[in-house]
Amino acid sequence: MQSSAARALVAIVAVAIVVVGFVVLRGGESGGSSVSRTTTTEPDKRPASGGGEPDEEQPAGDAAVPTVLVEDGQPAGGVAELVFEKGSTIAFVVESDVAEEIHIHGYDIEREVEAGGRTELEFPAEFDGVFEVELHGTATQIAELTVTP
Amino acid sequence: MAAVLATAAMVAALLPSSASAHALIGKQDLPLPEWLFIYGSLVILVVSFVGLLLGWREPRFEGTRSRPLESLSGVLLSRPVGALCGAIGVCLLVLVVWTGLEGTAAPDRNFSLTFVFVTFWIGLVVLSVLFGDLFRAFSPWRAIGRLASGGFSKLAGQAAPAPLRYPDRLGRWPAAVGLLAFLFLELIWGQSGFAAAGITPRDLAVATLVYSLYTFIAMGLFGVERWNDRGETFSVLFGMFASLAPVSVERGRIELRKPLSASTRWAALPGSLAIVLISIGGTTFDGAQEGVLKDAIASLFRTLIDAGLTPLTSQRVASGLFLALVLVTVASIFWAGILGMRIVERKLSARELSQAFAHAFIPIALAYVVAHYFSYTVLLEQAQFTFLLSDPFGDGSNFFGTASQGIDYGAISANTIWYVQFGAIVIGHVVALALGHDRALVLWGNTRDAAWSQVWMLVMMLFFSMLGLYLLSQANG
């Protein structure tokens, strides 16, 4: 590697690998992403019924709104995972057998739910990140809200 | 049976709680996407091989050349400015203790926690790298120590000699122990899982008082400047990051120098390597406990609960053991690289080699801090300068009219965060390689031997850089 021509060659090859790598890998991501996301609600989907399972296992495009079920002050079936895309509308239902206040961190939304009642939450997905949804009284996390970019 | 159910419910409530310090914030970052992780690794590999092939032949950072800034020194290093900086430091120390003891217990509404763990702990790292050793001027402990020794000299008519000579063998080890204690307090101590995961403001205030007392005693025994240079945790840690800065204070003057050049002399004291490795290990653990190690910690936690320990003790023991494990792993990787280097180089002992190359890992420690805490710091500084400043006790006051403002979670997008993290790790890796190569040229004189010895160095650095990216791609706290 003594001559400057060889040095230049190494540098050019390196830059080429870095640029091609970026294009290839980045392109691969945007092709696969729409398939891999599970719960992506469309902007104008209204909650049709509260009959959804408290989970994320619904195919994209399903009109059902995810429901988080709270039993004895704990999320039934563990902390629910809710995934939405930035710019869409976040919509989910909380059904609880105890009177509580639901708090969505980051978005700082608070909503009361009565014992045995249900409450529908709907708001625009303004910023991306992972946010906790908790019962304010006991600070129990009931759902993890993921907003993808 | 009821007790079992109650415990089960409690355990369920405990586990989902994210890491300690995140009680301060309502958001976690999205993990680094897989493609960016793979791409980051590719860039780091390419950069490494190009660096190895095209490495320069003369050391570039080892010189001590610098340019004094006479007029600026006259102003910034004057007595009134020094007194003002010290007074600001003391006021902030008092405010931390006062708000911690008297303010609200809500971690995100109390001035003390955000100030200590974000503005001070992360903010000063960034400021030190940019502007040099600022903490020396603002350290409340040093300011009080100097005032006390100055007062004593005036009264006694002579300078107060330190009663004990600081043992040279001790080097920076007291600071390393202090750093471990701080990490334990920050990441592990208060993880009770319920309302306030993380250390309480009151515990933090008590810890601050204890540390202050310890520092005053140590300064009294060994002398103010000596203890601040060697033993005082924060002076030593921020001083380490400041050694990368293009500015330093030498012989009573502010001097401009080549960035990174002071770091080449930083690791000469015993215990310096420990500081670098503990800093890397601490950030690694904080990242891993939210992702890679989450399940392992949770399972050990459950085992300890079943063994009859309280949830808080179980959490402390489980997390503490894993912190120790991470530190041992980080140290093992470093030593494996050093021992590998000895295959090429037999003249220098492993100890000499470790001391010679310790400073090359400071940029990696910095990259870890930036990558892990970037968004966290940007968001929490909004809190710091709005409601926490106007309402430091969380009691409804509004000193500056900003108490009702909050954090704008839309301030930085996930894409920005990812590219900053990626950039930090890659740049940190490049700078670390440059420092390692430079030192190898000094030790071996010719490019060929230097490059061979650096293959081992490179493996270590590749490991740390890819580990950093990997942790971010698993969970991004």
- Asked if A129 and B28 come within 8 Å (Cβ–Cβ), the reply is yes
Please tell me whether residue A76 adopts helix, strand or coil conformation: coil
In angstroms, rounded to a whole number, what is the distance separating the alpha carbons of residues B186 and B282?
10
How much is the pLDDT for B23? Answer: 61
Spatial CB neighbours of B273, under 8 Å, sequence gap ≥ 6: B267, B334, B354, B355, B358
Mutate to test the interface with A, among B35, B191, B295, B415 (most CBs of A within 10 A): B35
Residues facing residue B197 across a β-bridge:
B191
For residue A143, how many other CB atoms are within 10 A of its CB?
25
B 175-194 → A contacts, CB under 8 A = 194
Amino acid present at B341: M
Helices vs strands, H then E, count in chain B? 21, 4
- Asked if B42 and A21 come within 8 Å (Cβ–Cβ), the reply is yes
pLDDT, tens only, B277-316: 999 999 999 989 888 898 898 899 899 989 998 888 888 8
Is A19 near chain B, with CB under 8 Å? Answer: no
Residues facing residue A91 across a β-bridge:
A122
Is B298 near chain A, with CB under 8 Å? Answer: no
Burial of B73 (0-12, 13-18, 19+ CB in 10 A): middle
Spatial CB neighbours of A144, under 8 Å, sequence gap ≥ 6: A79, A80, A81, A82, A130, A131, A132, A133, B16
Is A5 near chain B, with CB under 8 Å? Answer: no
How much is the pLDDT for B477? Answer: 62
How much is the pLDDT for B343? Answer: 80
Task: Determine the Cα angle at B264 with ends B259 and B268, to 5°.
Answer: 145
Question: Which residues does chain A have within 8 Å of residue B29's beta carbon, measured at their own beta carbons?
Answer: 129-130
For residue B70, how many other CB atoms are within 10 A of its CB?
9
Is B7 near chain A, with CB under 8 Å? Answer: no
- Asked if A132 and B9 come within 8 Å (Cβ–Cβ), the reply is no
pLDDT, tens only, B428-440: 999 999 999 889 8
Handedness of CA B147, B153, B159, B164 (dihedral sign): negative
Burial of B320 (0-12, 13-18, 19+ CB in 10 A): middle
Q: Which residue is closest to A141 within chain B, CA to CA?
A: B16
- Asked if B46 and A107 come within 8 Å (Cβ–Cβ), the reply is no
- Under-70 pLDDT residues of chain B: 1-23, 160, 191-197, 447, 477
What ipTM does this complex have?
0.77
Q: What is the pTM of this model?
A: 0.87
B 18-47 → A contacts, CB under 8 A = 18, 26-30, 33-36, 38-39, 42-43, 46-47
* B173-184 vs B272-288: helix crossing angle, rounded to 10: 10
Element (H, E) at A93: strand A89-96
Question: Which residues does chain A have within 8 Å of residue B43's beta carbon, measured at their own beta carbons?
Answer: 18, 21
Is A29 near chain B, with CB under 8 Å? Answer: yes
How much is the pLDDT for A30? Answer: 56
Question: Which residues does chain A have within 8 Å of residue B30's beta carbon, measured at their own beta carbons?
Answer: 128-130, 146, 148-149
B80-117 in b/e form (b: 16+ CB < 10 A) is eeeeebbeebbebbebbbebbbebbeebbbbbbbbbbb
- Under-70 pLDDT residues of chain A: 1-2, 29-63
How much is the pLDDT for B197? Answer: 55
Is A148 near chain B, with CB under 8 Å? Answer: yes
H helices present in B243-310, as ranges: 263-266, 272-288, 294-306
Mutate to test the interface with B, among A19, A70, A130, A145 (most CBs of B within 10 A): A130
How much is the pLDDT for B274? Answer: 97
Q: In three state form, how does the secondary structure of A17-62 look?
A: HHHHHHHHHHHHHHHHHHHHCCCCCCCCCCCCCCCCCCCCCCCCCC
Phi, psi of B99 (to 5 degrees): -65, -35
B186-197 in b/e form (b: 16+ CB < 10 A) is bbbbbbbbebbb
- Asked if B409 and A129 come within 8 Å (Cβ–Cβ), the reply is yes
Spatial CB neighbours of B198, under 8 Å, sequence gap ≥ 6: B19, B20, B21, B22, B23, B24, B107, B113, B190, B191
Token pair for B393: 């006790």
Q: In three state form, how does the secondary structure of B406-418 look?
A: CCCCCCCCHHHHH
A 70-89 → B contacts, CB under 8 A = 72, 74, 78-79
Amino acid present at B25: I
The DSSP code for A3 is S
In angstroms, rounded to a whole number, what is the distance separating the alpha carbons of residues A53 and B211?
52
Q: At which residue do the structure tokens 């430079």 appear?
A: B438
Token pair for A18: 């870095």
How much is the pLDDT for A2? Answer: 55
Question: Which residues does chain B have within 8 Å of residue A129's beta carbon, measured at their own beta carbons?
Answer: 27-30, 409, 414
- Asked if A129 and B30 come within 8 Å (Cβ–Cβ), the reply is yes
Please tell me whether residue A83 adopts helix, strand or coil conformation: strand
Q: Integer distance in angstroms from the first to the last C-alpha of chain A? A: 44
In angstroms, rounded to a whole number, what is the distance separating the alpha carbons of residues B293 and B414?
23
